[in-house]
Amino acid sequence: MNFSRLPFIKSSLSLSANLMQTSYLNGEIYGARLSKNFIKGKLYTQLYYRLVNFRYVNSGLKLLQNIGELNLLWQHNKRLYLSVNFEATFQKNENYNRIYLNIRRKF
């Protein structure tokens, strides 16, 4: 489900749900993504949250994760883009963090 122009904050919101049932895994993934452009299209931001709930059929193990993500994309000019992506995964006994830096140049 997408909302392209939320009033007051002038951003877009996307909601998603994935339901899975396989021979070895049952589970759900729910997500919400908020996106907004700043500075006349020069800075694009995204906040993303996912809730992952998996149950492994044969072992009875469960996996519950909360995943948060922050993405920033800056368009320096028509040919040069810089982006930073940060993702954090929170589980019961372990947490993971990832950061990606990208430089993209069009020719």
Q: What share of the chain is helix, strand, coil (3-state, %, to 5)?
A: 0, 70, 30
Per-residue pLDDT at 39 exceeds 90: no
9-13, 37-41, 85-89: lowest mean pLDDT where? 37-41
Query: What pLDDT was estimated at residue 10?
Result: 85
- Average the pLDDT over 23-42 and give the result: 92
pLDDT tens for residues 52-96? 999 999 998 999 999 999 999 999 888 999 999 999 999 988 999
- pTM of the shown model: 0.84
Tokens, residue 46: 């995204």
Res 9 pLDDT > 80 = yes
Asked whether the predicted pLDDT for residue 50 surpasses 80, the reply is: yes
d(CA 37, CA 3): 15
Look over the chain and give the mean of its residue pLDDT values, rounded to a whole number: 93
Query: pLDDT value at position 38?
Result: 86
Q: How far apart are the first and last CA of the chain?
A: 36
Q: Token match 């020069």: residue?
A: 42
The answer to whether the CB of 64 falls within 8 A of the CB of 27 is: no
Q: Which of 42, 50, 38 is nearest to 14 (CA)?
A: 50
